[in-house]
Structure 1
Amino acid sequence: MAGAAQDNDDEITGINVTPLVDITLVLLIIFMVTANFIVRETVEVDLPRAAHGGETVQGLVNVVMDKDQKLYFDGAEVSEAELLKRIDEALAKDKDTRAIISADQSINYGRVMRLIDLVKGQGIAKFALNIQKDAAPAPAPASP
């Protein structure tokens, strides 16, 4: 009977993926629920379009001028004097503060340049102009 004893234990030949799928679905549900709570404070601005603009990383400060020429600093409406004060506070915290400047495309060029001048005048050397990227560049005008 030495050879008659057989081992009837079933060997596990595959990996059970059911727990992995369960955990993945739970994580997906958690992600979907929390994504609804992540809302960025924004001001409605019709940005100018450009074909070759790159994506920008949100800077430390966001300066916005809407179509009514109201100023916003990081989502909060401010006066011009308050804007200068808040920029000074941001620079006091970090000398390398950068600014993302957004202006509605209906605002005239002079007002946008004044806003840029205000930001640069307070000591922010690095800034970017926020645009809405076009899918394709506009055709160049024909030369006569």
Structure 2
Amino acid sequence: MLVHRKKRPRYEIQAPLTSLIDIVFMLLIYFMLTTNFMVDEGIKIKLPQARAAAPQKSQEITLYVDKEGRAWLNEKEVAHDRLFKMLKEKIAGGKDQLVIVKADRSVMLNKAVKVMDIAKAAGAARLCLATEKDF
């Protein structure tokens, strides 16, 4: 009588995936928290809306006009009498200089036009009034 031994199944080597999955999720959380999302920080204004608004490729000089009619240049409030001098210094070397005016939609038109007039007098070759795309 022959006795046959039962073959035992071989143990398969398995890599521990739990710690690997934990590391992948930690990396995912890290990159989600450290990613720089595009946030346009600055003066809180609500731009007027237009259906035919086109995004600007390069923004050279940006002027903000808030709802009280105050002018802001480089996120610093500037009095209207000093604005001309500061813009003239910034525009001095540039030909075909673009000045973008971002005026709050609730500002009186006269105040926004006054800032645009100061920019044109300071030597701005091109003026642009910023709008939001109307959806």
TM-score (norm 2): 0.69
Aligned to 1:119: 119
Please give the residue correspondences for 1:44-59 in structure 2 after superposition, counting only pairs within 5 Å: 44-59=44-59
CA distance in 2, matches of 1:31, 1:123: 44
Aligned to 1:106: 106
Aligned to 2:86: 86
Aligned to 2:65: 65
Aligned to 2:36: 35
The ranges of structure 1 where at least 4 consecutive aligned residues each deviate by more than 3 angstroms after the TM superposition are 29-32, 38-41
CA distance in 2, matches of 1:32, 1:92: 42
Q: Which residues of structure 2 form unaligned runs of 5+? A: 1-26
CA distance in 1, matches of 2:134, 2:92: 37
CA distance in 1, matches of 2:112, 2:80: 13
Residue 131 of structure 2 is aligned to residue 131 of structure 1: yes
SS at match of 2:82: helix
SS at match of 2:124: coil
CA distance in 2, matches of 1:55, 1:84: 27
CA distance in 2, matches of 1:94, 1:30: 40
Number of positions where the alignment pairs a residue of Structure 1 with one of Structure 2: 111
Assess if the C-alpha contact under 8 Å between 1:58 and 1:100 holds in 2.
no
SS at match of 1:89: helix
**Identical pairs, percent:** 25
What's the CA shift for 1:39? 5.8
Q: Which residues of structure 1 form unaligned runs of 5+? A: 1-25, 136-144
CA distance in 1, matches of 2:115, 2:121: 10
Assess if the C-alpha contact under 8 Å between 1:62 and 1:75 holds in 2.
no
What's the CA shift for 1:57? 2.9
SS at match of 1:35: coil
Assess if the C-alpha contact under 8 Å between 2:72 and 2:78 holds in 1.
yes
What's the CA shift for 1:96? 3.0
SS at match of 1:93: coil
CA distance in 2, matches of 1:99, 1:93: 14
Amino acid at match of 1:66: D
Assess if the C-alpha contact under 8 Å between 1:63 and 1:74 holds in 2.
yes
